[in-house]
Amino acid sequence: MNQATLNSPSTPSVLGLFQQIPLPMVSRYLALQGWDWIILDMQHGCFDYEKAYECIHTIRTAGARPVVRVSIGNYSEIQKVLDLGALGVVVPMVNSPEEAEQAAQAAKYPPLGSRSKGGDPWYHYGDNYTQSANRETLLLVQIEHVKAISSVEQILSVKGVDGCFMGQVDLALSMGLPDVGFADNYEHKTAIQRTVDKCRSLNKLACYNAFSVREAEERRKQGFQCITFRSDVDIFVEASRRRLVELRDQLGSR
């Protein structure tokens, strides 16, 4: 599924989640459950390149799109994870058109960018990978700082940028708000609406990490086509905690 297909109004919501546990077994279970995207978190998780490679291709063979969120400001990592086989990159803290251009240069082959040919992706994606990669691999910049909001149209207009990922919590922190309870702040709401409106007007993907099903529904109605639902760690911890409480209640354990 390429960027143009994802932007079609008739396309259902694309659903994914972040993976922080660096194990191919976790990748396999998640992908087999039917998530459209699995985003390996190299920004906040503890992946190294070897584990990322194994997880990328486990996700791919299990039928989901492997995406990687790279570290802040590490543009060489963008090209590296694409060479490892990722079909998309999420680049955090892109706050200016210049930073978006640096990301695009790393993510796209000439003439659109300056990515060099290497790795083994053509063994996985076919001999014409070099010709199709600019179209088939997604570059998503994270809009998650008040500086980015002021130039969001220019950032999203950079050639090679396929869309954005909303970082609502870091955005709140950059606005001097707490990391909880910010959802009703007028300036914060306006910033999110401005971002999704610019994505629509420029025909770029708008992605959002929701913390509840209700929030996912609201953001989809707002115009976000791609919704992630937190992370594997969040789901594991919450499910485990809930089951433990249920067991203690039913069995009378301390």
pLDDT per residue over 125-148, tens digit each?
999 999 999 999 999 999 999 999
Instruction: Report CA 32 to chain centroid distance, whole Å.
Output: 19
Q: What is the pLDDT of residue 13?
A: 86
CB atoms within 10 A of CB 188: 18
pTM of the full structure: 0.93
**Separation between Cα atoms, residue 77 and residue 16, nearest integer Å:** 22
pLDDT at 254 over 80: no
Phi-psi category of 113—alpha, beta or left, where left has phi over 0 and alpha has psi -120 to 50? beta
| pLDDT for 12 | 62
pLDDT digits (tens, 9 = 90+) for 34-58: 999 999 999 999 999 999 999 999 9
**Alpha carbon distance, N-terminus to C-terminus of the chain:** 50
The burial of 244, by beta-carbon neighbours within 10 Å (0-12 exposed, 13-18 middle, 19 or more buried), is given as exposed
Report the chain's C-alpha Rg in angstroms: 18
Q: In whole numbers, what is the pLDDT of the chain averaged over residues?
A: 94
Partners of 206 in the β-ladder: 164
